[in-house]
A and B are shown apart, each in its own frame.
Chain A
Amino acid sequence: DAGITQSPRHKVTETGTPVTLRCHQTENHRYMYWYRQDPGHGLRLIHYSYGVKDTDKGEVSDGYSVSRSKTEDFLLTLESATSSQTSVYFCAIKGTSGRGDTQYFGPGTRLTVL
């Protein structure tokens, strides 16, 4: 398995509190991604990064911010969590092989906002 971990794996929080999820890789890959997955919606891209301090928005970026201060870590922050952000969050990494898009996913973080 690709060296990618997520923390925490589970979190319960209350509406209005800030939450930060961490994705850590040991592969030195350039690209990192945050997705959320909800029943009926499949995987939806929140934000992604194409290098240290280089990030861009995905499909559902409202209410989320990200930071990447070093290659191995990509943080996802919910500034003020809402119940609609209850979801499973997956981080992914991708190398640049010059071929197709091959991503490797972390184990996921299950977030519940009460």
Chain B
Amino acid sequence: LAKTTQPISMDSYEGQEVNITCSHNNIATNDYITWYQQFPSQGPRFIIQGYKTKVTNEVASLFIPADRKSSTLSLPRVSLSDTAVYYCLVGSSNRDDKIIFGKGTRLHILP
């Protein structure tokens, strides 16, 4: 798996847009970028995945520049319930069996 670097923690306020950036300088050609969200006392859950440009779903948007060496998870108009740990992973099902998580970004939403 390509190594990823993301901020340890972030604070924001309700109603704001939050952007969490992940660096993955050694991403391989076939690698996808996947983000997970983990609430306290629960397992991580998949929120979004992309390969290039922009992906949007009902939860978040994922922006990937042309060089793919970084990606940005965007959460629109956050609420207190978005307080969680967010993990960025880079890899390919064709190549990576062993999936290792980093420490993620601890996002704290303030009222």
Contacts and interface: CB of A to CB of B under 8 A. Distances in A.
Contact of A45 (B41, B51, B98): B98
A42 B101 contact: yes
Interface residues of B, number: 30
A44 to B, nearest CB: 8
Nearest to B31: A100
A94 B92 contact: no
A58 B102 CA distance: 14
Interface of B: 1, 31-34, 36, 41-46, 49, 51, 85, 87, 89, 91-94, 96-104
Interface residues of A, number: 30
A99 B93 contact: yes
Main secondary structure of the interface of A (DSSP, over half): strand
A45 B102 contact: no
A108 B39 CA distance: 12
A74 interface: no
Contacts of B44: 43, 90, 103, 105
B42 A101 contact: no
Which among A33, A50, A101 has the highest number of chain B CB atoms within 10 Å? A101
Contacts of A99: 32, 49, 51, 92-93
Contacts of A88: 41
